[in-house]
Structure 1
Amino acid sequence: MSVIYLIIAGVVALLAALWQYRKAKGKSPQHLLFVFLRFLSVYAILLLLINPEFRKITVYEEKPELAIVADNSSSIPYLNQQQQLGELLTALRQDKELAEKFSIHDYTFGTQLRDGGNNDFKDRHTDLSQALKIFRDIYRDKKGAVIMLTDGNQTYGEDYTYTSRNFPVPVYPVVLGDTTIHEDLRISRLNVNRYAYYKNKFPVEVILNYEGKSDVQSVFRIRSGNNTVFSRKVNFSEEKRSEIIEIHLDAATKGSLTFHAELVPLDDEKNTRNNIKEFGIEVIDQKTEVLVVSAMTHPDIGTLKKSIESNEERNVTISKPELPVSRIDNYQLVILYQPDTRFEKVMQHIEKTGKNTFIISGIHTDWDFLNKVQHNFTRDPGNLTEEAQGSFNASYPVFALDDIGFSQLPPLRVLFGDVAIHHPYETILFQQTEGIATLNPLLLTTENNHKKTALLLGEDLWKWRMQDHLKNGNADQFDKFVSKLVFYLASNKKRNRLETAYETIYDGTSPVVISAQFFDNNYVFNPEASLHIRVTDKEKSTSRNYPMLLRGNYYEADLSDLEAGAYTFGVRVDGENIQRSGQFRILEFDVEQQYTRANAVALRKLAGHSGGMVSYQKVSDSLYLTLTRSDLFKPVQKSKEEKVPLVDWRILLFIIILLLSAEWFLRKYRGLI
């Protein structure tokens, strides 16, 4: 079709030129020249209007890619390798042969992989496997290589020697740090429960390790303040390299307790930081008791028990609805699973005493019965069922919750139809059917006359916990969600306009985060407030202020830059005479400082699995030769075809101007103007 348009444009341009010079006498060369110039200029203008497309083929060479990846964890300065790493980076970046042969990209890794820049060595964890997984995706269909400058000590994630199997490009580790084996004692692991109960004993399991060839003796002890609460002599040798000690300590006082575990160093031991470990527990007076009442056997019952008891402050009892109703008074929260007429006495007692409840309905729930025995909500009975996923309400105002990816979790089985709620309520999850979110609630909470009630309109909750475990390797996200819901429902504490959430002890490895919620006079969450937190070091008596940032339906302050120690804090709201305070402790522990030498063995496996080679302390000459001379890293010639519209050819506009100017100049010169 474009060819036809071009022919028509040529005919039109020729006729236009002949018509404009029709009065010229004769057919002199001068006359034909003017006709030709006019024809060309008009034809060029018509071409711009038609704007045909032309295929443009570009041939180019694509260089192989070279990723230079630098370890940014705190173990690098601990091993005194930060200067060596800086010199290696400078040499690689300035090498002309590498720059000519490769397209070079800089990265750093520690807790996560980032674009390269200045290394600050502040990452508290090394996750080398996560970096390798990203490079696996990047170089899946490309030619290239990875140079990794690291000590090879990984403190988080899966074993990177496994991740490196069948890697698409060769990895060339450059080992930073001493590879000599020194005699070293260390506390490899210390396991302790997060909570203990007042005047009870709590277990502590300690795994001690030795690296060396001599027969050595030491003492392991645990102190609380200035008192030694446990001490034992330990012996190690080349044959006996580890010992497991199981201890039971007394929880003699309520509140937060911290302990100092120490394995006395050898006389010539090089690294003594891994001989010390602090740990803490929270001593509580009693557990929160939760009662689950169900007349049927269902996987949801076990799921609820596991999720609630993942927090050691809580205990779950499962019972049939025929239990003596007086026992209900011993529980802070009653979960009613798919109630029917057998729950009559239980429901009557709950209505009488105002006990907080969590009602879970499903396809076996007797809504005729439920409509009669409580007045919070009603629905028309029916047998039709459907499947509904959860759509998280980011504006839920009652307490701080996170979206754990509800819209991606398996659907629950729900009864078809709407529920009428007769008291003010807040929706946590809306129903999402066939990918379309609705305004029908799936999970909601209501509070009336100081009685708290939650309603879940679906069964098969076990699928959510299972999916969380399949996706993340554990069910922590789901368990934390259930834990927060149970904490709210089990508490009879009067609601405050400013609420805070924090841990009393942070172990030094996880982020130090404090969250808060602020409500207006009607207890509606206020996302427009300005919150600040003032943190005071109890030992140094110094204070720092932090802004609290809005995170959905709560405010949050990340205090991970604080050093180990005991702190008090106060959260305040600008323009309001409201403040909440508390205290917490950060234990001293840096997992990156538990190693005295580079892990050359693992790095050799990494290189072997990927087809690379290992260099020590510097980029070896053989590695330079491999990168610059090997046929593995030849550039690839590629072609790219693209359609280019004529209007993008700016030279055509210049030609039009040139033709019109030439015609005007010649006519002026001949005296025709």
Structure 2
Amino acid sequence: METANLLYIIIAVFVALFLSIFQYIFQNKEKSQFNYWLSFLRFLSLFSIFLLLINPSIKKETSQIIKPNLVVAVDNSSSIKFKSKAENIQNLVETIKNDAELNSKFNIEYFSFGTKLKPLDSLNFNEQYTNLFDPLNKLSKVFNNGINPLVLITDGNQTAGNSIAFSNYKSPVYSFVVGDTTTVEDIFIQQLNVNENTFVNNQFPVEVFVNYTGNQNISKNLSVFNNGKMVFSKKINFSKTQNVYTESLFLTSKNKGINYYTVQIDELINEQNTINNSKEFSINVIEDTSKILILTAVLHPDLGMFKKAIESNKQRSVTILNIDKYKSESAKYQLIILYQPNNKFKNVLNEIQTKKMNYFIVSGLSTDWNFLNLAQSNFTKKVISSSENYNAVFNNSYSSFLNSDIGFSTFAPLEDRFGSITFSVPYQTLLFQKIGSVQTEEPLLATFENNNQKGAVLFGENIWRWRMGSFSESKTFEYFDGFIANLMQYLASNNNNNRLNASVNPIYFSNETIQISANYLDENLNLDNRAKIWLTITNKEDKKQTKIPFALVNNGFVAQLSNIASGEYLYSVSVENHDETISGAFKVLPYEIEQQFTQSNDADLKLLASTTNGKVYYDADQTVFINDLVKDKRFKSIQKSSTLKTPLINWKWLLGFIVFCLSLEWFTRKYVGKI
């Protein structure tokens, strides 16, 4: 007890004694037994009140031994089981748990990791990915006071997450590498590069990267199969120094729809891991056959030029028809070209606007501009009777589709009525007008989109001279025909007016969660979040069917499938109480990324050890590993002292005692008639 508190208590005794004696002894002439009893009760009450105010306490010194933390993180991925090292890891963990010296020196915390870090409960080695960065990142935030060494028990093969080179773990990291780090002879497909889409009968590129680890000079066949049929084969050579090979090949797309291919490299003799000797890819083959109608009221060389240039692409066909013979056949065509329209084009222009078809207008000296300005509302041209020659200037800022300058400024001028042009819809100018030596901001060729409808207008005739001029310069029609092909591709592309849309990949892997997204639009083409959308998948082999609902997530619908067995599946996306349906197919591959590595990887772990003043151990170093941890003088227990103030009184009991004494005093005075 502090000296001051003791002094206060002594003073409190004398003050309480003085006041109680003064009140009941000195002030009363009668020296009765009751006065002495009342004086004693008053003394107890006053002293207790003073004691409650003083609140005396004693200081108690305590000390605590705090052991350093040893954090043990164990790789629980399937690659451990694949390398037959599961038992080794379990034995090592049990050894750490049962080692008396280690547990005496450290407070040991256990975690497991694969895709994510978790407290260690049990090890099953079924995690589909190894994220080495995750335990380093999260544990550095939890154990951030003092020195907390970390033990990573892993094979070192990372298949997910950031590189451990970006780790900011401050304490030493001890990596225990299980498995053989010796380089094993292996040949494998490292990577494939391929476009997602192509056209029927088109040559599409495939880029294949093949790696070899070994010291031999070998020759192996690289093959590509489509539905079990070999479509490409080539013998390639490898050596210790020539261990990476890249093959760029072209395949022909023949069948419309999703086509599946397998790229395969022959196995080595006694190769341990053959899973990585093949990879699959898919490509969506589109039937890009476009039918284009040219309507005209005049005969002109431009018509033959358009037909030849457009049909240079075998996927497109052109029909030239006099406007007098047109009978509302627009549904057959993806694009209608209106060549120098006049009042005979009234019905077809009405049909185009009603059905929101894509169209291309070419004007010239025979164009009836008074009619055309009234028949459509996208643009107008106020003309005079005189004509003008217009040269072309390419607009490098044009962005609706990719194009390049094929020498437009050198081509012969086009001829049209002179006048000013005004657009009432957003548009982009592909070619500007140039009159003589003066370049203007008026468009010579422009494209526009309005209400899900595409259009283009060329203000001038005699474009046939451009094709001849391009051939004269380059000795080929390829450049000019390519320019026309790009314009036709843009204008003839189908508009997506489907209210129901779904995004489904053609290939998934069995160890991933399959996520399929969809959206459904109302009649105003806004997202209908009230819709109930269903996904139905059917296994092609056993015909087993699964039906799950889509969930509304943010601005769309999402359906998730997990634990799907490898195989081929048919899918159907439908809307409840509506007729819209989307069907297709996808394939689930039995791909195990954790089985792509034949040996353990200690390179990154060595770098981590050097940056954290740790160390790397291997299967045969178990005893050395534990001894190093026990004997490392950096990890010491800390004695933490603390002073604890303990009150000598319980204020609740003391307060009750005060009330009791005062009450007893009052009843006594009442009894003897002093109140």
Q: Please tell me whether the aligned partners of residues 604 and 613 of structure 1 are also in contact (alpha carbons under 8 angstroms).
A: yes
Q: Which residue does the alignment assign to 1:481? A: none
3-state secondary structure, aligned to 1:244:
strand
Correspondence for 2:619 among 614, 617, 629: 617
**Cα RMSD for the two superposed structures:** 5.3
Tell me how far apart the structure 2 counterparts of residues 639 and 573 of structure 1 sit (CA, whole Å): 70
Q: Which residue does the alignment assign to 2:334? A: none
Q: Which residue does the alignment assign to 1:34? A: 41
**Is structure 2 residue 497 aligned with structure 1 residue 494?**
yes
3-state secondary structure, aligned to 1:261:
strand
Residues 562-581 of structure 1 aligned to structure 2 (within 5 Å): 562-571=564-573, 580-581=582-583
**Is structure 2 residue 172 aligned with structure 1 residue 170?**
yes
Q: Please tell me whether the aligned partners of residues 73 and 135 of structure 2 are also in contact (alpha carbons under 8 angstroms).
A: no
Tell me how far apart the structure 1 counterparts of residues 282 and 59 of structure 2 sit (CA, whole Å): 71
Residues 41-120 of structure 1 aligned to structure 2 (within 5 Å): 41-42=48-49, 60-120=64-124
Correspondence for 2:130 among 123, 126, 133: 126
**Is structure 2 residue 152 aligned with structure 1 residue 145?**
no
Q: Provide, for residues 406-430 of structure 1, a one-character-per-residue CA deviation record: whole Å limited to 9, x for no partner.
A: xxxxxxxxxxxxxxxxxxxxxxxxx
Tell me how far apart the structure 1 counterparts of residues 641 and 424 of structure 2 sit (CA, whole Å): 76
Q: Which residue does the alignment assign to 2:198? A: 196
3-state secondary structure, aligned to 2:170:
coil
Query: Cα distance 1:64–1:274, how it changes in 2: closer, same or farther (>3 A)?
Result: same
Q: Which amino acid counterpart does residue 156 of structure 2 have in structure 1? A: G
Tell me how far apart the structure 1 counterparts of residues 202 and 72 of structure 2 sit (CA, whole Å): 54
3-state secondary structure, aligned to 1:88:
helix
Report deviation, 1:130.
4.2
Residues 311-460 of structure 1 aligned to structure 2 (within 5 Å): 351=378, 373=424
Tell me how far apart the structure 1 counterparts of residues 530 and 59 of structure 2 sit (CA, whole Å): 55
Q: Which structure is larger by alpha-carbon Rg, 1 or 2?
A: 2
23-32 vs 501-510, which deviates more?
23-32
Report deviation, 1:225.
1.0
Tell me how far apart the structure 1 counterparts of residues 75 and 357 of structure 2 sit (CA, whole Å): 52
Q: Please tell me whether the aligned partners of residues 511 and 563 of structure 2 are also in contact (alpha carbons under 8 angstroms).
A: no
| Pairs aligned (count) | 485
Residues 610-649 of structure 1 aligned to structure 2 (within 5 Å): 610-617=612-619, 620-637=622-639
Q: Which amino acid counterpart does residue 109 of structure 1 have in structure 2? A: F
Q: Provide, for residues 77-125 of structure 1, a one-character-per-residue CA deviation record: whole Å limited to 9, x for no partner.
A: 2212233333333443454544443343333333333443334544433
Q: Which residue does the alignment assign to 1:235? A: 237
Tell me how far apart the structure 2 counterparts of residues 284 and 53 of structure 1 sit (CA, whole Å): 89
Query: Cα distance 1:538–1:61, how it changes in 2: closer, same or farther (>3 A)?
Result: same
Report deviation, 1:155.
2.5
3-state secondary structure, aligned to 2:550:
strand
Q: Which residue does the alignment assign to 1:311? A: none
Correspondence for 2:279 among 271, 277, 280: 277
Query: What percent of counterpart residues are identical?
Result: 29
570-579 vs 236-245, which deviates more?
570-579
Report deviation, 1:224.
0.7
Tell me how far apart the structure 2 counterparts of residues 150 and 287 of structure 1 sit (CA, whole Å): 55
Query: Cα distance 1:573–1:77, how it changes in 2: closer, same or farther (>3 A)?
Result: farther
Query: Cα distance 1:211–1:663, how it changes in 2: closer, same or farther (>3 A)?
Result: same
Q: Which residue does the alignment assign to 2:269? A: 267
Report deviation, 1:538.
1.7
Q: Please tell me whether the aligned partners of residues 536 and 544 of structure 1 are also in contact (alpha carbons under 8 angstroms).
A: yes
Task: Please list every run of 5 or more consecutive structure 2 residues that lacks an aligned counterpart in the other structure.
Answer: 291-336, 340-351, 360-371, 381-398, 401-421, 427-448, 455-489
Report deviation, 1:47.
8.9
Tell me how far apart the structure 1 counterparts of residues 44 and 530 of structure 2 sit (CA, whole Å): 70
Query: Cα distance 1:248–1:576, how it changes in 2: closer, same or farther (>3 A)?
Result: closer
Q: Please tell me whether the aligned partners of residues 574 and 581 of structure 2 are also in contact (alpha carbons under 8 angstroms).
A: yes
Correspondence for 2:210 among 208, 211, 215: 208
Query: Cα distance 1:332–1:637, how it changes in 2: closer, same or farther (>3 A)?
Result: farther
Report deviation, 1:53.
14
Query: Cα distance 1:581–1:659, how it changes in 2: closer, same or farther (>3 A)?
Result: farther
TM-score by length of 1: 0.59
Q: Which amino acid counterpart does residue 143 of structure 1 have in structure 2? A: I
Report deviation, 1:230.
1.1
Report deviation, 1:513.
0.9
3-state secondary structure, aligned to 1:144:
coil
Q: Please tell me whether the aligned partners of residues 68 and 105 of structure 1 are also in contact (alpha carbons under 8 angstroms).
A: yes
Query: Cα distance 1:494–1:57, how it changes in 2: closer, same or farther (>3 A)?
Result: farther
Residues 548-567 of structure 1 aligned to structure 2 (within 5 Å): 548-567=550-569
Query: Cα distance 1:656–1:282, how it changes in 2: closer, same or farther (>3 A)?
Result: same
Q: Which residue does the alignment assign to 1:653? A: 652
Correspondence for 2:519 among 506, 509, 517: 517
Tell me how far apart the structure 2 counterparts of residues 186 and 68 of structure 1 sit (CA, whole Å): 34
